Structure 1
Amino acid sequence: MATPNSFRCVSDRFGVGKATAWRSIRRVTNALYSLRHTFIKWPSTEEARVTMSKIRTKYGFPKVVGAIDGTHIQISAPKEKPDAYINRKGFHSLQLQAICDQDLKLFHVYCGEVGSVHDMRVFRLSNITDMLNDDNFPDNSHILGDAAYEIHKHVMVPFRDNGHLTEEQINFNTILSSSRMIIERCFGLLKGRLRSILDKLPMTRTDLIPKYVIACCILHNICIDRNDIFENIFILINNERRENYLHNNRNNDSKSEGIAKRNAIMHLLSHQ
């Protein structure tokens, strides 16, 4: 998982057959995946408050429990419906959606949607939509997303730049963007340490790849728990976002609450 080398290269280095190497990797992947709820879990109220305090102190944005974003895991063209896997950057991929805290530890991951699916649709297909409630967000807290996501009481996103933003709105967007960079750094650390998912993943079974990617996320969290972080392995991940996504209004109440909350935070940030 930590090297982009092929199975053939790994098999040659360890003196085993390619099939043996593949079976070994599958066993370890399955073992890690079975522990996913132990190592990737939603923060407790106390843990959420610690993250809120750290982000408020470092960036100034209040009541943030984490940041959400998506990244593409490049794969070879699948045999079935390969066009569906082509993302906006022009290569075949599966998507990984993740939320991390200030320490770059992942507490929610979702993987497996094809590369052509928009971030907001991935968001709705994941079970994170069922977790947007006051029980999971103490003290009226929220996660931060970019403009690809829809505003919600517990999801703060920037004001859309229509060329006529006020100084207060620009200030809000700037502070949100700085605070949200924790998820970009998280992806950089994840792919810098586990480089098999940095470039093209040498796997063809699209039904097994999501489990493999989540196993990588588990190892990432284990390393953070062990304080095993090296700044020189961060990789710059370029995640360009499309903003022209048509949001629906299935939950107008939460959207209205989110807009009111964003305006209140905007005024707070402009006066601090």
Structure 2
Amino acid sequence: MMATPNSYRCVADRFNVGKATAWRCVYKVVNALYSHFHTFITWPDRARAENIWTHVKNKYKFPKVIGAIDGTHIKIAAPKLHPEAYINRKGYHSIQTQIICDNELKITHVYAGQVGSVHDMRVFRLSGFEDMCTAENFPENSHLLGDAAYGIQKYIIVPFKDNGHLTDAQVKYNTCLSEARMMVERTIGLLKGRFRSLLDILPMRRTDLIPKYICACCVLHNICLIRNDYIDDIPIIVQPNEPVQYEIENIPQIIREEGIEKRNAIVYHLQNENYFE
């Protein structure tokens, strides 16, 4: 069920079981996988964080990166309750999923369940991840990379808004960030490429169970990577260029200023090829 976009009826016919039996099997396996969520989806410790930022710096020149963050929409059928709330900016019903990954495409944090109409920055705030934005979880002033949908802050570094007047140094910064941030696009592509039920309309009606199903797919994703089970054909999920609705007003001014100061320091060091020791 997870690996194909087939319906329950199709899968039940293939294995010669009833549709209700197929649903119960999926439900049991999802619950079993979800019970091991914190075993396989873990935040990097100090040693792992250093390995990540060393790899990213050597490959993309961008300093102190321990991961990248992005949101993705999981298509669903129109739910019975408040279906209008699930319609996203692209016009279809969806569940929002926020994913943070490392350079090996392993998922280090996932949050699923918000309706599709919610903005990425709002999902970030509702996810509770802000409580993890501490010096302990981000050693040596490290950070995540995000796209323009996320507000600038100390531990989430985003590109400059392209207003047509960026300096050469800012353009270079945006290019380095974009190249490094592709790790999360590849992670989402690998997740949906392996579990193609997430690419098509999810064959589930109960919106209270969908987040657990998505998290179970993420657990299996990490298990596959731990077992060195890769697939070659990865559909890269890249968001189209659209006007971004900024929600920077929700970020306290002092936190924004810390992020801006840090971003300017990175720009300076990238420009001078003295990569932010």
> Does TM, normalized by the shorter one, top 0.5?
yes
Q: State the 1:243 CA deviation.
A: 2.0
Alignment of 1:186-201 (within 5 A): 186-201=187-202
- Other-structure match for 1:125: 126
Residue matched to 1:268: 269
Residue 148 of structure 1 contacts residue 242 of structure 1 at CA under 8 Å; is this kept in 2? no
- How many residue pairs end up in the alignment? 271
The within-5 A match list for 1:179-190 is 179-190=180-191
Q: How far apart in 2 are the matches of 1:18 and 1:249?
A: 46
What's 1:156 paired with?
A: 157
- 1:1-272 matches, within 5 Å, as 1-232=2-233, 234-240=234-240, 242-248=243-249, 250-272=251-273
Q: Which runs of 5+ in 2 are unaligned?
A: none
Q: Which runs of 4+ in 1 moved over 3 A?
A: none
What SS is found at the alignment partner of 1:216? helix
SS for the counterpart of 1:248 is helix
| Counterpart residue identity of residue 81, structure 1 | H
Contact kept in structure 2, 1:151 and 1:259, CA below 8 Å: yes
Alpha-carbon deviation of 1:250? 4.6
Q: 2 CA distance for matches of 1:238 and 1:101?
A: 17
> CA, structure 1 residues 50+269, in 2 after alignment: closer, same or farther (shift >3 Å)?
same
What are the Cα deviations for residues 216-245 of structure 1, in whole angstroms up to 9, with x where unaligned? 00000000001111222x013132354232
Separation of aligned partners in 2, 1:246 and 1:106: 25
Letter in structure 2 aligned against 1:165: L
Structure 1 residues without counterparts, runs of 5 or longer: none
- Asked whether the equivalents of residues 5 and 196 of structure 1 are also in contact (C-alpha less than 8 Å), the reply is yes
Letter paired with 1:236: I
TM, length-normalised to structure 2: 0.96
Q: What code does the residue aligned with 2:74 have?
A: I
Q: Give the percent of matched residue pairs that are identical in Structure 1 and Structure 2.
A: 60
TM-score w.r.t. length of structure 1: 0.98
Counterpart CA distance in 2 for 1:10 and 1:93 is 23
**Root-mean-square deviation (CA), in Å?**
1.0
How many angstroms apart in 2 are the aligned matches of 1:229 and 1:62?
A: 27
